[in-house]
């Protein structure tokens, strides 16, 4: 279908983009357009103004800031998954990003767009949650930070105010450079499809025991979730397949996944347990 009519503003700076959001009641930001354009074409949204961020200064790129990387919101999936910095320090993010859609979508779609869209079936919100990322948000009163656990509020809903935008994301270095093992397990009906369920696991080992585990779940509720019962059960245990089996059996606790054409809720809960076991075993190096 043809999208509804709207004005388009190309913002040169973050401040310019925020000013349009503050002036207009019904404006939408355009990043890679991979989610927004289908929404417009299906006439699920009728913005008066679309604010194009594709030439907005200072929103692309990846830099090293000590214990974390800073990734500009407009950095494409392709750039993230191929970044030497991301692969070395935040390998889970590179691995999960490589499973997003297909090459065309990864060349246009952006890290910030995927997080702001907050689709619980998207791979990157659960990964951001597992890392404990911090979102840097710009609004009319300047910038503020929001933790990933507060950012994802509900289905397609974030903590962003209508006058705010995501500018960059701070991702802690939890990768091989800091002795973290990782694995993203994605179960999909066909290659390049959305996840029926996904599990993002980060595991830090020390002296034969699991020191800490951080596990994010994709498509297991109306927002990305942490598998907190599994994380707690893994804390301090000797690294054995039996211990991982017991902890993974708790992975679906507290989840409320959807039932749809790709699977019923109880099937998704079963998948979450199976995929968590597999992801944690790999991340723990067993």
Give whichever of 172 and 224 is closer to ligand FAD, judged by the CB atom: 224
Q: How far is the CB of 239 from ligand FAD (least distance, A)?
A: 30
CB of 27: closest distance to ligand FAD in angstroms?
A: 9
| Residue 52 C-beta: closest distance to ligand FAD, Å | 9
Cβ count near 142 (within 10 Å):
9
The nearer residue to ligand FAD, 29 or 248, going by C-beta atoms, is 29
Nearer to ligand FAD, 45 or 209 (CB): 45
Question: Which string of DSSP letters, residue by residue, matches the chain?
Answer: -PPPP-EEEE-SSHHHHHHHHHH-TTEEEESS-TTHHHHHHTTS---SEEEE-TT-TT-S-EEE-SSEEEEETT-BHHHHHH-HHHHHH-HHHHHHHTTSS-HHHHHH-BHHHHHHHT-TTSHHHHHHHHHT-EEEEEETTEEEEEEHHHHEEETTEES--TT-EEEEEEEE--SGGGTEEEEEEEE-SSTTPPPSEEEEEEEEEETTEEEEEEEEEESSSSS-EE-HHHHHHHTT-B--HHHHHHHHTTTTTT-----BTTB-HHHHHHHHHHHHHHHHHHHTT-
Of 15 and 67, which has the nearer Cβ to ligand FAD?
Answer: 15
Quote the least distance from Cβ 59 to ligand FAD, whole Å.
7
Residue closer to ligand FAD, measured from CB, 80 or 85: 80
- For ligand FAD, the closer of residues 205 and 226 by Cβ is 226
Q: State the minimum distance, in angstroms, from the CB of residue 228 to ligand FAD.
A: 22
Could you tell me the smallest distance in angstroms from the CB atom of residue 64 to ligand FAD? 22
Residues lying near ligand FAD in the complex (CB under 6 A) = 28-36, 53, 73, 100-101, 105, 109-110, 112-114, 116-117, 122-124, 160, 165-166, 194
Q: CA nearest 94: which of 123, 129, 136, 116?
A: 123
User: To the nearest whole angstrom, how small is the minimum distance from the Cβ of residue 215 to ligand FAD?
Assistant: 18
Residue placing its CB nearer to ligand FAD in the complex, 42 or 232 = 42
The least CB distance from residue 155 to ligand FAD, in Å, is 13
């Amino acid at each position: 279908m043809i999208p509804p009519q709207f004005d388009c503003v190309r913002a040169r700076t973050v401040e310019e983009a925020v000013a349009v959001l503050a002036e207009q009641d019904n404006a939408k930001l355009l990043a890679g357009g991979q989610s927004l354009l289908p929404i417009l074409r299906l006439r699920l949204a009728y913005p008066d103004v679309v604010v194009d961020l594709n030439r907005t200064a200072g929103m692309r790129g990846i830099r090293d800031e000590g214990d974390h990387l800073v990734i500009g919101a407009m950095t494409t999936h392709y750039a993230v998954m191929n970044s030497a910095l991301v692969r070395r320090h935040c390998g889970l993010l590179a691995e999960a990003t490589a499973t997003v859609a297909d090459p065309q979508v990864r060349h246009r779609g952006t890290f910030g767009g995927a997080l702001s869209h907050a689709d619980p079936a998207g791979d990157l919100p659960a990964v951001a949650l597992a890392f404990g990322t911090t979102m840097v948000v710009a609004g009319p009163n300047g910038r503020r930070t929001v933790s990933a656990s507060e950012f994802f509020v509900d289905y397609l809903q974030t903590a962003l105010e209508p006058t705010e935008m995501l500018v960059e994301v701070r991702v802690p270095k939890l990768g091989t450079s800091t002795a973290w093992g990782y694995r993203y397990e994605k179960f999909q009906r066909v290659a390049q499809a959305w996840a029926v369920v996904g599990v993002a696991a980060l595991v830090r080992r020390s002296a034969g025991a699991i020191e800490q585990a951080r596990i994010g779940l994709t498509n297991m509720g109306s927002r990305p979730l942490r598998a907190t019962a599994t994380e707690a059960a893994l804390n301090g245990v000797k690294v054995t397949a039996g211990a991982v089996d017991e902890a993974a059996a708790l992975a679906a606790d507290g989840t409320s996944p959807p039932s749809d054409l790709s699977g019923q809720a109880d099937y998704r809960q079963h998948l979450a347990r199976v995929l968590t076991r597999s992801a944690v075993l790999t991340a723990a190096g067993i």
